[in-house]
Structure 1
Amino acid sequence: MENEVYLIEKRENEIFITVTVSTHGIATTEIKLFQDGSIINKGFSNNGAGLISKTSLGIDSKLNGATVKIETDIVLTKVPKSAWENCFKNLEIHYYLEGGKANQKQPIELLVSEKKKSSSGETIVAIKRIDLLLG
């Protein structure tokens, strides 16, 4: 699976990310930055909605070649079982990045290939990877 690309510049701008999740389930989202062989935790939702409000990833000149991994786990236990399939099909997650090169597509959206459901259908896992590259 190919990663999305977000273009940055060397202007000493701070790069920010915001994540929104539309689901009837209970969602948690975690953001990790993979850079120079290190994994840096950048955010974790604690609101049950998977929302990550505007969070800094760092300064653009130091982020070239880094990858942002955003994982959202959704539990549908409190949703009627008859609705689980629709929750999976209609899941929308939007990723908003700020501070990079102008006029890039916003939001970046979750692709069908980036989400999976458990064999029972009760849990959905969505993983988005975005490469930060000089453009």
Structure 2
Amino acid sequence: MTRNHRHLLLLLGLGAAALIWATFPPSEIALSDACTPLPGPAQWSSVLYSGPFWRRQLAAVEAEQLDLLSYPARRARLEAEAETARRLSPIESKMERLSQGQGEDPAVKERQEAERHAARLKRAIWLTECAGRIHQRLNE
């Protein structure tokens, strides 16, 4: 085998390795709004590694669903911890009371929280829809 042939085989091997790496099923959500693979590497991955691609997407979707569903409990726990910390420090408590008078309008804060809640709810609905479609695909 000549030196040029070895270089060609090396380049072909590197190209194949790069293709496999680029199309390996992603562990993050790589789905469009219609729950189809995003164009590019995710789309190729779904063709080349159909089963593993969809199982990884299902795992990513379910992990995000769990995170969204646990958000209210996490938030309540963090608020309770912050309240406990404020009670332990009278100076911080007084500073907080003083800053509340200079802070944002409560109506603005409430509207922003409602918008964040609506976005979380919309995302949770989309995740549930995608999980159902993925289950169908895996059971075909």
Identify the TM-score tier after normalising by the shorter chain. Answer: under 0.3
More helix by share: 2
Query: For the pair shown, which has the larger CA radius of gyration, 1 or 2?
Result: 2
What is the TM-score with the length of structure 1 in the denominator? 0.24
For normalisation by structure 2, the TM-score amounts to 0.24
